[in-house]
């Protein structure tokens, strides 16, 4: 349990310079992850919903496209580290989405129960 918490804290620390982006109007099934510290990258995930259940190996080997803001940074960048951070960010975003949905559902239930009593 302590190891899991330590790993999660480290993933959260490493995600501070990352941003989760989508453009549901023009690119409805794509997700972008932007890393603002060195090396600055944009990780594009095409067909996000189709690849939702992919493995990390599949994610590394084609689902995620790593694009560098400064192409010369590719020579010194640790691609595995970038992809691991991107994968962890997606996992945390999905976790937050699930918690938000559960909260909304419980709030709706409480609201409905309150209105029925009135």
Contact (CB, 8 A) for 43 and 33? yes
Indicate the pLDDT class of residue 7, thresholds 50, 70 and 90: confident
Structure tokens given for 70: 């400064």
Handedness of CA 71, 76, 79, 85 (dihedral sign): negative
* pLDDT (average), residues 66-82: 96
Q: pTM, whole model, 2 decimals? A: 0.77
20, 21, 104 from 24: Cα distances, Å: 13, 10, 22
Higher pLDDT, 49 or 99: 49
Of the chain, the percentage scoring pLDDT greater than 90 comes to: 49
Domain locations in the chain as residue ranges? 2-117
């Amino acid at each position: 349990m302590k190891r899991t918490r330590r790993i999660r804290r480290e993933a959260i620390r490493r995600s501070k310079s990352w941003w989760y982006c989508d453009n549901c109007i023009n690119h409805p099934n794509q997700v972008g992850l932007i890393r603002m510290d060195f090396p600055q990258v944009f990780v594009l995930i095409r067909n996000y919903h189709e690849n939702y259940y992919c493995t990390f190996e599949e994610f590394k080997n084609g689902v995620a496209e790593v694009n560098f803001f400064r192409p010369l940074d590719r020579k010194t960048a640790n691609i595995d580290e970038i992809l691991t951070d991107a994968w962890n960010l997606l996992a945390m975003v999905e976790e937050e989405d699930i918690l938000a949905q559960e909260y909304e559902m419980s709030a709706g239930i409480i609201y409905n129960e309150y209105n029925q009593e009135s």
